[in-house]
Each structure stands twice: as C-alpha cells, then as structure tokens.
C-alpha cells in the first residue's frame, strides 16, 4: 500500500480530487487531498499566503505520515511539490507531476507560465487592480481546463474556483540536487490540454531527469474526465520505472 498526497493547482482545492480518492482507496492505497492556504475550505487571507506557506502546508501533511509518500502535484501544484520536496525530501518516495509546472532552481511559476504563449489560461487571465491575485475570464474556463469534462463537473468546478494569490506565483523556487534532486520523478502529460499546452509540457519535462513519462489523451483535468485511469497511473511503482524514460500511451 502507498500513501498518496494530492496537491491541487491554481484556483482549485482538495475538492478537485473527489473522484480520484475513492479509486485509490479501492486499490488499497491511502489518499490525502490537501487544501493549500486560501483554497478550498482554507480561509487564509491572500495577504498572508506565500510559496513558503504552500510548501509548509504540504510538509506538515507529510510529517504526519508514518512512511514516505508519493507526492502528486497538478498544474501550479507542480511548483508547490517542487519546493516542498526541497524542505522534506526524506518524507517523499516519489514526485508525480500531472500536467504540471516543473520549475528549475531560481525559476518562478509565472516565469514559466509566460513562456506558454498558446495557453488559453494565459490569454484569458484577469489581474486584480492591486495585483494581489488573479482569476480567469468566465467564458474561457471550460475551454481552458475542462474541455472533455461533463457539464455537471464543469458547473460544480466553476462554483468552487477561488482567486489565486500572486505572491506564490512570482516567487522563484529554491532547490538543490542534494534534496529535491535525489527524489524519483514521473510526469503525466495531457495531450488535449489547453491550459498547459502539450509542447510546453514536453519542454519542461525535457529539462530534468524523469524516470517515466506517461501520456493521457485528456484535457487539463483528468481527475474529472478519467479518474479511474488517472488513479491507475498514480500508483505506478516509480522506483522500478526505467531510468531511461519509458512511455505509456493511453
């Protein structure tokens, strides 16, 4: 049995994993979905939120586990798990990036996001007047994130999305080969993604060593459109994955 800790991306919360958690539990794994500060049920003020507080939240969850976990990050959650891995590497068995950002040392989430010129999210971003948070134009939400998801899931997601604080997005990660660099990594790319385009996902995972690259023929939100399939990929034994990147097609 593995313990998987699931970290959501921008604007989301632990609720986005609600279809995946039961699938993992049915396979006899423990699954813990985390609300980052200011997201989901957590009401931390935007003014108090930083990349440090995101990573600290994840590390507190990891510290409460008796064994190292598989740490999963979706989209912006990739930045969060990267920094958390630097702080608590001994608590992590493997990192799984789900159509997620993969910053190198000294890079910020926003620096990477601005490179994806074809991203529907980037083209429809709305910045608050005081630049403390950002949202997305409502008309672009389905196309950008939920292209292959049911109307029911899209409606529910829209009702739960929240503003995303800017400070964590502009803060560069501070990671080392000694800590972050020694943890095995897997990347799950989504081939119909319009939020984080497939060419840009490939560009990012090409800059670092990954034990395995898995391809899913979904939009940016396979936790809604393909939860059973996604759960199966999340439980791959990453320690035994080939050091020369394998590829599994779905």
- The residue ranges of DSSP E strands in 88-163, in sequence order, are 92-98, 125-127, 133-136
Percentage of the residues of the chain whose pLDDT score is greater than 90: 92
List, in order, residues 6 or more apart from 53 with CB less than 8 Å away: 37, 44, 168
Q: In what order do the strands lie in the sheet with 3-7?
A: 30-34, 3-7, 69-74, 92-98, 185-190, 212-216, 246-249
Q: What is the pLDDT of residue 16?
A: 98
Q: If pLDDT is split at 50, 70 and 90, which confidence band does 242 have?
A: very low
CATH number of the structural domain 3-249: 3.40.50.1820
- What gap in Å lies between CA 6 and CA 213, rounded to an integer? 19
Entry pTM: 0.94
**Two structure tokens written together for 183:** 């943890």
Q: In sequence order, what are the residues at sequence separation of 6 or more whose Cβ sits closer than 8 angstroms to the Cβ of residue 119?
A: 113, 144, 194, 195, 196, 197, 200
* Confidence check: pLDDT of 248 > 60: no
Q: Give which of 30, 122, 116 is closest to 70, Cα–Cα.
A: 30
Tokens of 210: 């990954």
Q: What is the spatial distance between Cα 213 and Cα 36, in angstroms, rounded to a whole number?
A: 26
Cβ–Cβ < 8 Å for 185, 97: yes
Residue range 147-170, pLDDT digits in tens: 999 999 999 999 999 999 999 999
pLDDT tens, residue by residue, 205-240: 999 999 999 999 999 999 999 999 999 999 876 555
pLDDT tens string 55-105: 999 999 999 999 999 999 999 999 999 999 999 999 999 999 999 999 999
CA gap 72, 4 in Å, rounded: 7
pLDDT level of residue 1 (50, 70, 90 thresholds): confident
Residues with Cβ < 8 Å from 137, sequence gap 6 or more?
124, 126
């Amino acid at each position: 049995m593995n313990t998987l800790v699931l970290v959501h991306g921008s604007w989301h919360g632990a609720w986005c994993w609600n279809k995946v958690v039961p699938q993992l539990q049915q396979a006899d794994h423990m699954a813990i979905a985390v609300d980052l500060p200011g997201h989901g049920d957590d009401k931390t003020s935007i003014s108090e939120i930083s990349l440090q507080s995101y990573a600290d939240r994840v590390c507190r969850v990891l510290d409460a586990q008796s064994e190292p976990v598989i740490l999963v990050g979706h989209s912006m959650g990739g930045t969060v798990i990267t920094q958390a891995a630097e702080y608590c590497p001994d608590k992590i068995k493997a990192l799984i990036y789900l159509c997620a950002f993969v910053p190198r040392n000294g890079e910020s989430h926003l620096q990477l996001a601005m490179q994806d010129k074809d991203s529907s999210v980037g083209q429809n971003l709305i910045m608050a007047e005081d630049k403390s948070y950002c949202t997305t134009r409502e008309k672009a939400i389905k196309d950008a994130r939920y292209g292959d998801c049911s109307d029911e899931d899209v409606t529910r997601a829209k009702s739960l999305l929240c503003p995303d604080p800017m400070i964590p997005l502009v803060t560069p990660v501070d990671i080392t080969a000694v800590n972050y660099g020694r943890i095995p990594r897997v990347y799950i790319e989504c081939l119909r993604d319009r939020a984080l385009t497939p060419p840009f996902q490939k560009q990012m995972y090409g800059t670092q060593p990954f034990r395995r690259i898995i391809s899913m023929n979904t939009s940016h939100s396979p936790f809604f459109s393909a939860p059973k399939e996604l759960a199966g990929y999340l439980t791959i034994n990453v320690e035994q994955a080939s050091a020369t990147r394998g590829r599994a097609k779905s």
